[in-house]
Amino acid sequence: MSFNSFSFILIFLPLVVILWYTLSAMKKWKIADYMLIASSIILYGLFSFKFVIILLLSAFITYEISRLIITSRDKKILLVFGIITNIGLLGYFKYTNFFLENISIVTGRKIDSLAIVLPVGISFYIFSHIAFLVDTYREIVDNYSDPGEKVSAKSVTFTEYLLYITYFPKIIQGPIALPGEMISQFRDKEKRILKSENIAKGMQLFVIGLSKKVLLGDNLAKIADYGFLYTYYMDTITGILVLVAYSFQLYFDFSGYCDMAEGVSYMLGITLPQNFNSPYKALSVRNLWQRWHMTLTRFFVRYVYIPLGGSRKGKLRTALNVLIIFILSGFWHGAGWTYLCWGLIMGIMVVFDDLGIMATKTDIKKSYLLREKPLIVIPEFLGKILTYIMFLISLVFFRSKNMTYAIQYFKQLCFFTWPGFLYKTASVLSISENYLIRQAVNLVNKSLETPVYIASFAILMIVSAFVMTRDNARELVFGEKIGKGYTFLLVILFVWSFISLSQVSTFIYFNF
């Protein structure tokens, strides 16, 4: 069951919110925890009962290893074992067929792929397991804990850990929350008091996210999916527009989910860590990754980059560490050479930013964004444009189904052609929003239907670009006092989105 479904909005979410606050008001704290765990497992189990078994088994094993780390002498061996166990589980489901395929190519012997189904959300909860193991080890061995954490790993019960792992607003698609920042909130009885402000702000976040996903992301997906499917037939202009449409789709799909997840959690009185902060406003690629999938970046910095030495062992080692975490990030997103190339490109761009060759005036004012004094200072608007273009180019690898298609896509972009494929691409926007116009045009002249599709495409792109340059959902909801006009707009967006749910699609990050 997805957040953007009738059953979730009309049944599941209201029921869970009512039970959570009712049980909490009765001071049935444990029962409320069990209810939330059971609800999360039921929601997750609707994808597949087998996925639930894998989830619960991995949670139980990880928790038991963490207890052994606390009591045993061989703490480092147990930590390594726990990490390898979790990485091995993720590797089996996500990367087995990738390695078999490449072994087959190298050896020249045909190896059949295995019938492996990737459990939904496994990439997210495996990283949560690893975070808990490492934090437990650091607390016991190094007497280390993050300043923001209020929970000792020793004191975490299995029920609390299971609630942290299965918590339904984050299990399917993140964010990758740290154990301390979530468990401390589950323990806080003040968080369980029903507050109208939490419900109101949570609903606002949810509606904004839902409208991003359903009204913009899903319609942009039609353009992107068609364009990348017919890469070999695309002309240059269509190729550029399809790539821009995909970048918009990715933005609204992921930011929409993040807003919905934060909204749902906020209705329950729990604050999720921010995971998305207007990345297309970034002044550099390095700044973009401080804004996009922020909790994934935080995970790699905290558990990979810093242990590798971070920026403490010279420029060359720092550059290598940056490349390592971005290659891992690319491989985390998907089992394919295209994802590895995308991660490598992103890493190279961040290393370039770190060299201090070029920066904006804003970067200089915020010195913490820079590691070196820049040689060239450019205007802020130019920094945003260049950053977006670099990210846009990298998305050719991120979206193409294999390297052959990615190379072909670049050929279509570099060698100008105009066979008129834009008309066919725009025609996929046969949507309910332009239905009446299309019917009216058909009565006059059926050939005029094509301009309707082109106009729909143009309007969709313009509206998308406009929304991305405005305040994001968090800034809107937690900013100025809400007026009548804003409330009316939210109602319109919700009704419009709700009506459009019949043609709903899954979120992109479900695949990761």
Burial 360-391 (b: 16+ CB within 10 A, else e): beebeeeeebbeeebeeebeeeebbebbbebb
pLDDT for position 196: 92
Residue 182 phi, psi (nearest 5): -95, -50
pLDDT for position 313: 82
Element (H, E) at 172: none
pLDDT for position 363: 62
**pLDDT tens sequence across 43-60:** 999 999 999 999 999 999
Per-residue pLDDT band at 365 (split at 50, 70, 90): low
Please state the pTM of the whole predicted model.
0.90
Burial 254-277 (b: 16+ CB within 10 A, else e): bbbbbbbbbbbbbbbbbebbebbb
Residue 66 phi, psi (nearest 5): -65, -35
d(CA 47, CA 337) in angstroms, rounded, equals: 28
The residue among 388, 358, 379 whose CA lies nearest residue 281 is 388
Considering the chain, what percentage of its residues have pLDDT values greater than 70? 92
More confident residue, 28 or 479: 28
463 contacts 457 by C-beta, under 8 angstroms:
no
**pLDDT tens sequence across 89-129:** 999 999 999 999 889 888 888 888 888 999 999 999 999 99
Bridge partners (DSSP) of residue 292 are 276
**pLDDT tens sequence across 268-326:** 999 999 999 999 999 889 899 999 999 999 999 999 999 998 888 888 899 999 999 99
d(CA 483, CA 439) in angstroms, rounded, equals: 37
Alpha-carbon distances of 431 from 218, 441, 500, rounded to whole Å: 11, 15, 10
pLDDT for position 312: 85
Cβ neighbours of residue 489 under 8 Å, at least 6 residues apart?
Answer: none
Alpha-carbon distances of 387 from 276, 319, 508, rounded to whole Å: 17, 19, 22
Average pLDDT over residues 468-482: 84
**pLDDT tens sequence across 172-194:** 888 999 998 999 999 999 999 99
pLDDT for position 37: 97
Average pLDDT over residues 26-33: 95
pLDDT for position 146: 56
